[in-house]
Chains A and B, each alone.
Chain A
Amino acid sequence: MLARHAESLFWAGRHIERAESTARLLDVTYHTHLEAMAGSETASWHDLLKILHVDLAFSESERILKADVVSEFLVFDPSNPGTIRSNVTQARENLRAVRELISTEMWEAVNAFHLRLSARDLSDDVRGEPHELYAMVRTQCQALAGVASETMPRDECWNFLSLGWMLERSVMTLRLLLVRYSQLVSAGATGGFHHWVSTLKSASGSEAFRRRYRASMDPADVVAFLLMARDFPRSVLFGLQAAEKALSWIDGTSSPNTRPQRLLGRLRADVEFLDVRELLSGDLSVYLDMVEHDIRQVAESIETTYFRSTDETALHVLDPTMVWR
């Protein structure tokens, strides 16, 4: 398979997942404040920016930290390359580049999504009642996942798409946990019920969590659930396992012999066999930082291994002595 096609699919997956996560985080943050909960409103909007890794870009732009400004910044502001709108546009552009390799249904689904989003007055949505917009984005992203799963053969295309999709998901859940947890630590509290509920909701996990743990809202359970639940599709571990499966298909062997496979395998095992209580007795955020760093390393090694093969990099490094000879 052409490296460029693989790269497009990988990024299409990442952008779709990113759009969905952004919409869900916005929705949860918005509704948390409708319910007039305790806690500072500005703090939670700042958390949101931090989870999405755009807190610096936002503060540098000298915008005011309040609901509608942050929402605009994350939904359609052209100065932010990571808005919902631009993620959907880029997912579509990436899939357009592999139009011949994906199913017609998949193309039509992403195209229709893009057109629906373009047809809306997003500024109106954000200032009015944004829930409908966020729900639409979430449903459409989930529809894309369904269409992909029901129409694409489990070939290299599928595996690169799902690799990007799943890695992005792990990062998003991880950052959610990281930011939410650090905030508690800095506030010197273990966090109230509502804090953890909204964290779970941000990962679509409150119902699944409740079924498993009933009345408990022990932070250790929440961390264990979001980090390493084997069967919850938005846990960090679930994403890592799915990505690992895709990678091993791509390499056509179960023995981990490429750098991405080795890095990912080690990381997955580490997360899989964690002792959460032990972890919580130390500094969880240090650990979470490390996991995030490792996931990014996996992504970089995927880039160099599959998208820019190393012999080609060597090709473009000119021997300076050659020039003078």
Chain B
Amino acid sequence: MEGLFTDYDTGGFFDEAHDDDGSARSHYQALIAQVGGFPPAELDRREKLRDEAFRTAGITFTVYGETEGVERTFPMDLVPRLIPADEWKTVEAGLAQRVTVLNRFLDDLYNGERAAVRDGIVPWWLIASSDGFCREAAGIPVPHGARCLVAGVDIVRDGNGDYCVLEDNLRNPSGISYVLENRQAMTRVLPKVFANHRVRPVDHYGLSLLHALQSVAPPSASDDPTVVVLTPGVFNSAYFEHAFLARQMGVELVEGRDLVVDDHTVAMRTTQGMKRVDVIYRRIDDDFLDPVVFRPDSTLGVPGLMAAARAQTVTIANAVGNGVADDKAVYAYVPDLIRYYTGEEPILPNIETYLLWEPEQRAHVLDRLDQLVIKPVAEAGGYGVVIGPKATDAELAECRAQIEADPRNYIAQEVVQLSRHPTLVDDHMEGRHIDLRPFVLCGDKVEVIPGGLTRVALTKGSLIVNSSQGGGSKDTWVLAPEDA
């Protein structure tokens, strides 16, 4: 191999672009030939083009925990990730299957007879003890049972290259704006390479999202329901995305203080008086949504919103209480839920997961703590995750104490040797671990957006890809089938 890929080492991992013997996989040959031959000056120029594209778009996110929320850009690697048509077909079917079942499960729990509990698929105590379970949501119907209108399902490939589900994000999954902006940037940075591949488009997302949101409008809404995006405000880390989505859909971006509930209907304050709102795509956590029902100190939400939802004059998307289904302990039951609701085998498997309240499994885990990954069940964004092989003795001891004090609050998983992907490091390519967050829309129908956000752990050897923990991203190119 020449140029940028000289001495590329797969390091014994499953490499997305190369076989075990180091030769390029067939669907990567054209890309490697084109990008690999860029002289340094050319590469430099394209990196500048990329940085320029992101700077003008103002794409940043805020990192918490540092003195004052620092705005950073989310670095996009120049080398795109390719997914061949046949692989994507399986992933797509698996995602649709999984998200459909999670929606049925949620609707069963909150607005049905709790059949899955009654039939012993998931224990009731597990549901009731989940931080994400929300009694206030019980009895509030959602049209089409679409409680999880936007789902982000994190998928990884293991050492054999098999796709499996790492976790479900059913509350407020973010990242879609990067998918669209990455694509926009890539078509400017590598136009010829892009044109050489038959890449399935993603830019219809705004329209699809708007359609899905309108399809869950309450029965009393007009034929052209009013949709708004509800944001916590400019200081939220994902504000850029909220504004982006509102712009893509051509709807208002509102804050809690812009909305008023009167006589169980929601209206926004406009310069021309009050305007009725039918569907709220909210990007505020459950706890802050309605100070009457949830945290009384929240100034982000709208007093009376839950009562309006219960009166079915407004639909909140995603629905309240979805956290129970992306609880990492409930995750372990999803394959059984798929079998229960559909009679089918799961198309995308879970990662081997141990439930720590089971004495035997706990003992087994505590014995091999240094070989496993321990995750708090209700956290997102990679916070609180302990990776056994990389943890210090002190960290492991603390983790052990926490598990013993509250076993319900943690799960353990086998370490997955995440696949790696060639990534530009200075002036050459090195393998870096990646995952994938595809986005699934469920309104009156299920739609999987081709590809999704490929996150890459830019730090050598790191397995943590979250943007809040020093990750970057790649544009994800799902290739169209040959015959299409």
Whether A associates with B in a native complex is yes
A2 with B260: CB separation less than 8 A: no
Stretch from A29-37, A94-102, A210-218 at the B interface:
A94-102
Asked whether any CB of chain B lies closer than 8 Å to the CB of A297, the reply is no
Asked whether any CB of chain A lies closer than 8 Å to the CB of B243, the reply is yes
Chain A residues, CB < 8 A from B254: 2
Q: Which of A1, A2, A307, A311 has the most CB of B within 10 A?
A: A2
Minimum distance in angstroms from A68 CB to a CB of chain B: 32
In A295-316, which residues have CB < 8 Å from any B CB?
306-309, 311-312, 315
Asked whether any CB of chain A lies closer than 8 Å to the CB of B339, the reply is no
Per the CB 8 Å criterion, the residue count for chain A at the interface is 20
Asked whether any CB of chain A lies closer than 8 Å to the CB of B355, the reply is no
Contact with A along B261-283 (1 / 0, CB 8 A): 01000001111111000000000
Asked whether any CB of chain B lies closer than 8 Å to the CB of A4, the reply is yes
Interchain CB contact (< 8 A) of B273 among A6, A250, A309, A315: A309
Minimum distance in angstroms from B337 CB to a CB of chain A: 40
Asked whether any CB of chain B lies closer than 8 Å to the CB of A118, the reply is no
Q: Give A302's nearest chain B residue, CB to CB.
A: B271
With A96-B234, A100-B246 as given contacts, are A3 and B271 in contact (CB-CB < 8 Å)?
yes
Asked whether any CB of chain A lies closer than 8 Å to the CB of B101, the reply is no
Asked whether any CB of chain A lies closer than 8 Å to the CB of B56, the reply is yes
Asked whether any CB of chain B lies closer than 8 Å to the CB of A156, the reply is yes
Chain B residues, CB < 8 A from A156: 271
Interchain CB contact (< 8 A) of B255 among A4, A99, A160, A312: A4
Q: Give A315's nearest chain B residue, CB to CB.
A: B262
Chain A residues, CB < 8 A from B246: 100
CA gap between A6 and B258 in the complex, in Å: 12
Minimum distance in angstroms from B351 CB to a CB of chain A: 39
A312 with B56: CB separation less than 8 A: no
* Number of A-B residue pairs having CB atoms within 8 Å of each other in the complex: 45
Q: Give B233's nearest chain A residue, CB to CB.
A: A97
Q: Which range contains the number of B residues in contact with the other chain?
A: 20 to 34
Contact with A along B29-61 (1 / 0, CB 8 A): 000000000000000000000000000101000
Contact with B along A68-98 (1 / 0, CB 8 A): 0000000000000000000000000000110
Q: Give B259's nearest chain A residue, CB to CB.
A: A2
B243 with A100: CB separation less than 8 A: yes
Interchain CB contact (< 8 A) of B234 among A99, A250, A311, A312: A99
Interchain CB contact (< 8 A) of A312 among B58, B247, B269, B271: B269
Chain B residues, CB < 8 A from A99: 234, 243
Minimum distance in angstroms from B60 CB to a CB of chain A: 12
Asked whether any CB of chain A lies closer than 8 Å to the CB of B307, the reply is no
Minimum distance in angstroms from A257 CB to a CB of chain B: 13
Chain A residues, CB < 8 A from B268: 2
B258 with A2: CB separation less than 8 A: yes
A315 with B234: CB separation less than 8 A: no
Asked whether any CB of chain B lies closer than 8 Å to the CB of A104, the reply is yes
6 A/B residue pairs, CB under 8 Å, sorted by A:
A2-B252, A99-B234, A100-B246, A156-B271, A306-B271, A311-B273
Known: A104-B56, A250-B271. 19 other contacts (CB 8 A): A1-B271, A1-B272, A2-B258, A2-B269, A2-B271, A3-B269, A4-B255, A4-B258, A99-B243, A100-B243, A100-B246, A100-B253, A104-B58, A156-B271, A160-B271, A307-B271, A309-B273, A309-B274, A312-B274
